[in-house]
Chains A and B, each alone.
Chain A
Amino acid sequence: MTFSRFIIYSLFVTWAGYLAGCRPGLNDTVLIPQQLTDGLNVAGAKLLYSQTRKACEGVYSVAEGSPIFGGEIAAKWSYLAKKPGDTTYYMSLFCEPQAAFFVLEGRQIGDSLVFEGFWRRLVNAETGTARFVVVEANGASALLAPDCCTALKKGQVIFKGVYGDGDGVRNQLLTLTYDRPLNPKDFQILAHRGGGRTSDLLPASENSVEIIRLAERLGATGVEIDIRQTQDGVPIIYHDNQLNLRLTQKTGLIGAVENYTFDQLDAFVRLRNGEKIPRLTQVLDAVLNETNLQTVWLDSKDVRDMDLIRTIQQTYQQRASQQGRKLTIYIGLPAEERVAQFEALPDHAQLQSICELDTSVARRINAKVWAPRWTLGEQIPSTLAMQQQGRKVFIWTLDVPEFIQQFVQNDTFDGILSNYAPIVAYYHYVHQQ
């Protein structure tokens, strides 16, 4: 066999292998370690009081473990109300390198505070478990004191922690020392597709009820979700215009999602992590009843009946008001066609809406939020003009850490939409005005 023929055959085989490699990576998954809170469920363990949780929030400097998790970490609590009387509180730690974050639960055990949970890097598949302890001498007494809501002093609280890779032994040290409170600015950290993308191997699929429940632990204060309508007019949450293996499990059904009835989707289609494609109302129920999210951005991907979307928005907005929730539900308008549908509503000027087009359109429809694409630049004069007219400005969809840092430090915008909410949370909370 001549050398040239060998080269041709090898190229042929390489090409075939490349095609085989084009198959969607359906085996990719990140298994978050289980049995995370075994160390908390011991005799005498108590749930933490709300003032203790509140006092734990802040920016911590990293003494041991800084090469891995950066020099500072922001700690923020969130909760998930699974049902009335069954609420779980989570402390998330947001780090700078590689979008790393921790999700921990805490207990008071004796005179100490103990936290256990997992860590994950969002830019790769690394994960593991972690355990932190604050003993009495390291500030537990200050956190447990009835008046602990008063500001802590720098260095007053020290979290002594260990972490490990996967389900392995936790043998690496991570020590956090309280430095200062979180950045208090009213700023929206908006999680794209309900919390994050399926391709980032989160434990829940994008645009599912489950990812909405996870969003706050990822640092989000609001979510963006994508609305489409089924053949029979039911508003559902789904990003792409096609059923495909990127978002759904293989069932043989393909083609435009709008061609299927809701019953067909409900019976046959499952998202990548096994969830059903949710109705818009199911998602809003979860936001309202199970989370403390403040903003919902209803991105009108394919809406035929804008009046129905308005009715649902108004219904849930009223329910939020009745519950005393600080929640704003915006109708997102990404294109001229949606704007035209929205303008056809007689009361559109009074509705909460997000306009992704230029400032003149935002003014014309009296959008409450103007949302330019981040690649257009900071657009400071336009942003300030919009804010002077009483509108907020959210920037989308910003995933590059350096630019997130730049836009946060700019201190002009009211929110950032990102697939990496933990990074936005980190840069926002550690930012000193």
Chain B
Amino acid sequence: MYTNNRNWMGSWSVVLLLWLSVTTLALAQQQQPTPSPKKNDKKSVRARRPRRPQPVINAYKPAFTRKGAPRKLSPDQLWDAKPDSTRPNRGPFRLLVYASTGTSVYSAPIRTPGSLSDEHQNRWSAPISLRVMWQTDHRLRLGVETGFVNMYSYSGTANDQVARVRVSAIPILAVFSMSVVKRFALYAGTGPYLINSHLDYGGVTRGSTFSIGWMAAGTYTQPISRNLGIAAEVKWYDATQTDDACLMLQATLVWRALTW
């Protein structure tokens, strides 16, 4: 009887880990009560020193220039003033492009036919991915992601013939993202994966099918110029219907393509 050893716990571990991350980071963002300063506490004394007054920005009532014109607030000022979409002066909106490459390891079981001998499996590959995100003026960002990843391949001998099988995937995903702490964002997406198979055994036969699935990722971005940044990304692709999944570690070039 055929049974699958696919680690269900693995899938749920990822989900659980994701949930814990989100919850922990969200909790970390909550303002902690400020402890009352103690007497003779040098740090507390230093904290009480008067600082240079910071300009007060009211996103609902924009400040005015000396000439009386409304002052245009910078995106960061807007974000600091009221990071949500309820204020009257919406924006800024940005289009961010992420181009990534790195390494992937196929994380689902590879099942090969029992008739195959001298078998060799390869789970590693160099995936590429391209993501376009619409950075709105609230926390949730929307976008699309595609790319190419060689999921796995195996080869061996069947009936004295060399046989090779290769399976690859092209994700076509709708992606949602949320910046949970400064420079660190979580991504989750869903949509179809175009799964392709390539069999070389007594002739070449190619096949393809769509497999509904999901993805999850965490990205740390370091700005390197006004419109460019680099990011490190850990990503999980899961094509559910075909039981394919891979874990990826990628370096990403982030380009702020458009701001309005």
Contact = CB atoms under 8 A, between A and B. Distances in A.
Interface of A: 1, 5, 9, 12-13, 15-17, 19-20, 22-24, 26-27, 29, 31, 203, 231, 242-245, 249-256, 259-261, 263-264, 267-270, 272-274
Interface in B150-169: 152, 154, 158-159, 163, 165-167
Contacts of B19: 9, 12-13
Given A12-B188, A16-B18, A19-B240, A252 B154 contact: yes
B207 A253 contact: yes
A270 B243 CA distance: 16
Interface in B24-48: 26-27, 30
B12 A252 contact: no
B238 interface: yes
Interface stretch (B2-10, B67-75, B77-85): B2-10
Interface in B163-201: 163, 165-167, 188, 190, 195-197, 199, 201
Closest 3 CB pairs of A and B: A255-B207, A26-B4, A19-B214
Contacts of A23: 6, 8, 11, 240-241, 243
B53 interface: no
Contact of A22 (B12, B188, B202, B241): B241
A27 B4 contact: yes
B167 A252 contact: yes
A20 B15 contact: yes
Contacts, number: 149
Nearest to A5: B26
Contacts of B165: 251-253, 268
A268 B240 CA distance: 22
Interface of B: 1-4, 6, 8, 11-12, 15, 18-19, 22-23, 26-27, 30, 109-116, 152, 154, 158-159, 163, 165-167, 188, 190, 195-197, 199, 201-203, 205-209, 212-214, 216, 238, 240-243
Contacts of A29: 1-3
B22 A12 contact: yes
Nearest to B108: A250
Which among B2, B18, B23, B114 has the highest number of chain A CB atoms within 10 Å?
B2
B241 A24 contact: yes
Contact of A261 (B116, B203, B241): B203
Given A231-B205, A256-B207, A272-B2, A24 B243 contact: yes
Contacts of A243: 207
A17 B12 contact: yes
B114 to A, nearest CB: 8
Given A20-B12, A29-B3, A252-B165, 5 more contacts: A19-B190, A20-B238, A244-B241, A263-B201, A264-B199
A245 B242 contact: yes
B156 to A, nearest CB: 10
Contacts of B243: 23-24, 26, 245, 250
B113 A268 contact: yes
10 contacts: A16-B18, A19-B190, A19-B240, A23-B241, A252-B152, A253-B205, A254-B208, A260-B207, A261-B203, A270-B113
A267 B15 contact: no
A258 to B, nearest CB: 10
Contacts of A12: 19, 22, 188
Contacts of A20: 8, 11-12, 15, 214, 238, 240
A31 B26 CA distance: 46
A127 to B, nearest CB: 13
Contacts of B15: 13, 16-17, 20
Contacts of A260: 199, 205, 207
A19 B213 contact: yes
Given A20-B11, A264-B202, A254 B2 contact: no
B12 A27 contact: no
Contacts of B30: 1
Contacts of B114: 270
Given A19-B190, A261-B205, A267 B159 contact: yes
B208 A267 contact: no
Contact of B112 (A19, A251, A261): A251
Contact of B163 (A1, A256, A268): A268
A234 to B, nearest CB: 13
A273 B2 contact: yes
A1 B23 contact: yes
A259 B201 CA distance: 13
A244 B3 CA distance: 15
Contacts of B152: 252
A31 B3 CA distance: 11
Given A252-B197, A268-B199, A19 B3 contact: no
A244 to B, nearest CB: 7
A35 to B, nearest CB: 16
Nearest to B200: A264
